[in-house]
Structure 1
Amino acid sequence: MPGTIPLKHPLDPGLPHRQEATEPAPPAPAPAVADLSAYHHPHFVRAEPGRHEGWTVYTFAPFTGREPEPEMPRAVYEDKTVTWEQRCALSSQYEAARITWSKARFRLQAHPLLRQAAPLWEAWTQAETDLQTVFKAFWQTSDGSWRAQLLRLTDAEQAAKQAAAAWDEIAAKLAKVADEHVRAAGEWEALELKDVAKEIGLDATQWWIDHISEYESTSYYRRRETPLVDHVTGEIGKQRERLREVAELAGDSGLDHRTLD
């Protein structure tokens, strides 16, 4: 059954929307008033005054997210019996429908991606922990065992980079659907990924997901490192620089720059 629920509720099919004039001052009233029922969105149920003056609450039948994006029929603009006020009301109705539809589509697209992402984030955090653990082990490694420990470090580095790359791949997909949702619903009405993840029992508050632009190519010929890969590359660089400093201070010619680069 359709219902009216406040907008900020994660599952709201009813959407409060302030009607504002988006066109020039209205022309003289038309001699006839159009019946707008033919122009309502198929999911439209009703429109009621909101709690605050000038606001309207639109209620729609549930969207699946598979429907085409709501768009006001072109015939509305061609119908001379539709008044300026009616056209504004229809425009607001379709804006509300688009926001509500976009939330349904966002959930439809994001839920399976979020489920795929959960184990990849766990794999990354474990790989990062392993990398830090191996590096800190140098503090307890004897001089004769440094080369063996370096082998362990390079293995941990490779595993961390692979885990970061796998994460960035799924993060890019999530960033894309999030960006599409914001474009359709607007920044003020858009859902956040962490809230959509919570709906399916996932805690995504610590997940590293940047804006979609951070995952796109910077040129036609070369792709920069993606966010988490760039982060772990920087951490690896800091660790290796520290090891080079120690090797130089110790006068260990066997651990030169070629070994640690």
Structure 2
Amino acid sequence: MRRLAHEPHAEVSVHIKPLRASLDNSGLAHIPPTPLPASSTVATRPVQGDTMAINLGDRVTVTEGEMREVLARFQPYWPSYLLTIEPAPFSGLRYTFAPFTGREAEPSRPEASYDDPALAHVWEADDPVEHKLRTGARTILREVFQQALLKWRDAAFVADLKAVIKDAPVRWQAYERELKATESAYAYLRTAEAGREWPAAVCRLVDAHNRLTAAATAFEERGRQIAYVNEKHLYADLGWAPALERAGHPEGRAWLVGGAYEGRYDAYLTDQVRRLIEQQQEFVARVGRLSGMPTT
């Protein structure tokens, strides 16, 4: 068992050992109080004088003695990545986890916990104490593994991004350079100097188009992989921009990455470049027709 945060004047140090349940005549398992580890402390808040209570959420409030038993029932399923449990500021509990890499096995509630008699449902009318203890332990089980899964999904998203980004920043920079070169070559056609060397100026624009297309295609190769990762982690809590930042590439927010859906990929960047080149080619051809200049 791990350390639970404590408040002043409410520290309890105890031990958890493996549980052994026996059934009474009612058929309900009654497990005697089991001490927690000496390193653990249970945080409590005073309620009505000297009475101590801990709110577990799900409309379950337990005494510090009952909390020992709740934790004892949860202890066999305590995952290695759960560091602490402590009361949340207003209600329920707060869990602290070790950082996930995203390469661990996906967190999930242990199958054995579903068949644990110390956790099995019992009606409150049949046994109010057992109902409270079991509900409290199941609440912790559910919350721990649900929250761990969310954190793991975020970490897996980041890890997968790191794996596919590779030289995407370099490729994007190359695309941006070629885009500027294309814009410059196209703008030059509107100058008087271009009129004196029109075929050569147009040829330079065509060369710029070819380099821009190659650069966009090169980035699109990485963009396709990034888009598939984004689709894979569509339901992660971590958004696109924060995931890129945690992956070490906050500049990636400026990348034009295509869309992926059910194995299909829409190439936004190369489509945009193709439309740009078509527009510029149409302009050059129109100028050539109106001025009598050659278009190539």
Q: TM-score by structure 1 length?
A: 0.70
Matched ranges for 1:23-172 at <5 A: 35-54=73-92, 56-82=93-119, 83-140=134-191, 141-143=193-195, 145-172=197-224
Which stretch of the first structure deviates more once superposed, 150-159 or 195-204?
A: 195-204
**Structure 1 runs of 4+ with >6 Å offset:** none
CA RMSD of aligned residues (A): 3.2
Structure 2 spans left out of the alignment, 5+ residues: 6-55, 59-68, 120-133
Does 116-125 or 207-216 show the bigger shift? 207-216
Matched residue SS, 1:190: coil
> Is the contact between residue 172 and residue 215 of structure 1 (CA under 8 Å) also seen in structure 2?
no
Q: Which residue of 1 aligns with 2:21?
A: none
Deviation track 1:162-192 (CA, whole Å, cap 9, x = no partner) reads: 1111112212222233333343x3xxx3143
Matched AA of 1:233: R
Greater gyration radius: 2
Q: Secondary structure at the match of 2:102?
A: coil
- How big is the shift at 1:151? 1.8
Opposite residue 222 of structure 2, the aligned amino acid is I
CA contact (8 A) 1:113 1:173 kept: yes
Query: How far off its partner does 1:199 sit?
Result: 6.5
Query: Number of aligned pairs?
Result: 218
- The Cα of 1:202 is off from its aligned counterpart by 5.0
Q: CA deviation at 1:94?
A: 0.9
Q: State the alpha-carbon separation in 2 of the partners of residues 191 and 128 from structure 1.
A: 29
SS at match of 1:48: strand
Give the structure-2-normalised TM-score.
Answer: 0.63
Change (3 A) 1:182 1:59: farther
CA distance in 2, matches of 1:105, 1:126: 33
Task: Give the secondary structure class of the aligned counterpart of 1:212.
Answer: strand
Sequence identity (%): 26
- How far did 1:234 drift? 0.8
173 and 52 in structure 1: CA distance in 2 versus 1, 3 angstrom threshold: farther
Structure 2 counterpart SS, 1:204: helix
Task: Please tell me whether residue 180 in structure 1 is matched to residue 232 in structure 2.
Answer: yes
Greater helix content: 1
CA distances 1:97-123 after superposition (whole Å, capped 9, x unpaired):
112222333333323544521111100
Over 3 Å counting, the alpha-carbon distance change for 1:214 and 1:249 in structure 2 is farther
Compare relative contact order (CA 8 Å, sep 6+) and give the higher one, 1 or 2: 1
**Residue-by-residue CA offset, 1:180-226 (whole Å, 9 max, x unaligned):** 3343x3xxx31434564366375333222244339825xxxxxx6x1
Q: Match of 1:15? A: none
Distance change (3 Å), C-alpha of 1:178 and 1:52: farther
CA gap 1:65/1:165 in 2 versus in 1, 3 angstroms: same
